[in-house]
Every structure is written in structure tokens, then in C-alpha cells.
């Protein structure tokens, strides 16, 4: 099965729609979302409704949990907390109920699904081989998908070896079959990439042949930024979209 893996959409309808169209063009059979449907962007209802319509699986991210009240906002940055409070006041009751029912971890077809990491599904940023090594020690699955960091990455640990990892760019493809060892894969962020590439990021995962391919797609950044400013959210949330930071 060809699965489109998405994460960190953050209320960016323009990016979400572009990725969904790109995934359909690539032949994806279904879509799995690793969380943070809402957060920094100004169209949370539209994003939750797209997920409800298109996602076969959807996790809760820390921003989703902050909006629903499942976790407090003390550990959020100022801009993130402002956006979370605004989203609470904006989101429809039906979409709030949908978010409230989500969990930050799961499993499908033997693949581990975690918003942040196998060790801490809500908060841990896996950005180094050392942290990946600790995650491999914890995760029960050979292949796991993670989000949260907004950076497209892969980490691997061959049998009887140590973990290594690297950033992933558009078009990068990997064989992640059983003979290659354990894997942690991060698709990058749909709605707010932080790896210097402002294009929306996603991952195409083949769960039959165990292949992974990272994808980037252009979207209407100006439109997303205009929506943020129109909502009177912090201008920095709009400005950073154009830099991929």
C-alpha cells in the first residue's frame, strides 16, 4: 500500500491542500497524519475538516492537545500560546470534539506512529543520532514514523551497529526493507517547515515493498501569510513561512 505521511500542518490550509493534491498525483492509497493539525496558522477549522475527510489515521500533536486543554500551555513559546488560545476561540465544537478524541501514538500495519518520539510521543524532538539510538531501544516496531521537529529526516540502525541519521530533501528515496535494520522516519512539516525549504513536506511510504520517498510541493505561501495577518496572530508566524524556518 502507498501511504502519504503528513505531519505538522498547523492550520495552514493552503499547504495542506497542495500536499493532498500532490499525494493523489503520486498514487497514494491513503493518508496518515502524525498530528498538529492546528497551531500556528489561521485556518484550523479547514485543516481539521480536511483531515476528517481524508485521513485514515490521525494522531494528536502537542499543539492539538494544547488547544483541547489535554496539556497546559506553560511549555509553549509566546507565539504558539497566543495561537493556541485564538484557536480555542475559533474552532467549531465538532472539530474540537474530533481533536479531543485523538491520541499522540499508535500503530498500523506494524509501523509505529508517534507525534514526537517512541519515548515521549508528545514532546521529544528527535534531531540527533544519539536520541534516535535511545528511541530504537524503546520502540517495539522495526519502522516508526515521527513528526514534531518540522525537519525531514531519517535515522537507521543496522543490526549490530549504531544509529546514524541525515536530513532528507525532495526526491530522496530509501529502501527500508527488513534486511536494512531499524528505521525512524520524519516526513517534515506540511504547514511550517524548518529546514530552510519553504515548500510543504510529506513522505510517500510503500508498506508492501518497504520504500520511502520524501516529497516537497509548492503552495500559496502569500495566501497563508495573509490569513495569519488577517487573524491578527503574531506577524512572525506569517513571515517565517517564506524562509522555511
3-state class of 34 per DSSP?
coil
pLDDT tens-place values along the chain, 245 residues long: 999 999 999 999 999 999 999 999 999 999 999 999 999 999 999 999 999 999 999 999 999 999 999 999 999 999 999 999 999 999 999 999 999 999 999 999 999 999 999 999 999 999 999 999 999 999 999 999 999 999 999 999 999 999 999 999 999 999 999 999 999 999 999 999 999 999 999 999 999 999 999 999 999 999 999 999 999 999 999 999 999 99
Beta strands in 70-192 (DSSP E): 105-108, 111-114, 143-146, 152-157, 164-167, 173-175, 182-187
For the chain, what percentages of helix, strand and coil (3-state, to nearest 5) are there?
Answer: 35, 25, 40
Q: What is the pLDDT of residue 21?
A: 98
pTM beyond 0.75, yes or no: yes
- Residue ranges per domain, the chain? 2-242
CA distance 85 to 46: 17
pLDDT for res 226: 98
Give bridge partners of residue 215 from the DSSP assignment: 202
Q: Give the length of the chain.
A: 245
The CATH code for residues 2-242 is 3.60.21.10
Do 118 and 112 touch, CB atoms closer than 8 A?
yes
Amino acid at each position: 500500500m502507498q501511504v502519504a505521511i503528513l505531519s505538522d500542518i498547523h492550520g495552514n490550509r493552503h499547504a495542506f491542500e497542495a500536499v493532498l493534491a500532490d499525494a493523489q498525483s503520486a498514487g497514494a492509497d491513503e493518508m496518515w497524519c502524525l498530528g498538529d493539525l492546528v497551531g500556528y496558522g489561521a485556518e484550523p477549522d479547514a485543516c481539521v475538516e480536511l483531515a476528517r475527510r481524508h485521513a485514515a489515521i490521525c494522531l494528536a500533536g502537542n499543539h492539538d492537545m494544547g488547544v483541547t486543554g489535554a496539556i497546559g500551555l506553560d511549555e509553549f513559546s509566546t507565539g504558539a500560546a497566543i495561537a493556541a488560545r485564538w484557536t480555542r476561540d475559533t474552532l467549531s465544537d465538532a472539530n474540537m470534539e474530533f481533536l479531543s478524541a485523538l491520541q499522540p501514538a499508535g500503530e498500523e500495519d506494524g509501523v509505529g506512529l508517534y507525534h514526537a518520539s517512541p519515548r515521549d510521543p508528545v514532546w521529544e524532538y528527535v534531531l540527533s543520532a544519539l536520541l534516535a539510538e535511545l528511541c530504537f531501544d524503546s520502540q517495539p516496531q522495526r519502522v516508526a514514523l515521527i513528526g514534531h521537529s518540522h525537519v525531514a529526516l531519517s535515522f537507521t540502525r543496522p543490526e549490530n551497529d549504531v544509529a546514524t541519521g541525515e536530513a532528507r530533501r525532495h526526491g530522496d528515496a530509501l529502501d527500508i526493507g527488513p534486511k536494512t535494520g531499524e528505521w525512524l522516519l520524519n516526513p517534515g512539516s506540511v504547514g511550517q517547515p524548518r529546514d530552510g525549504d519553504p515548500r510543504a513536506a510529506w513522505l510517500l511510504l510503500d508498506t508492501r515493498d518497504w520504500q520511502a520517498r520524501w516529497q516537497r510541493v509548492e503552495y500559496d505561501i502569500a495566501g497563508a501569510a495573509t490569513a495569519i495577518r488577517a487573524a491578527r496572530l503574531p506577524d512572525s508566524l506569517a513571515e517565517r513561512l517564506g524562509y522555511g524556518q
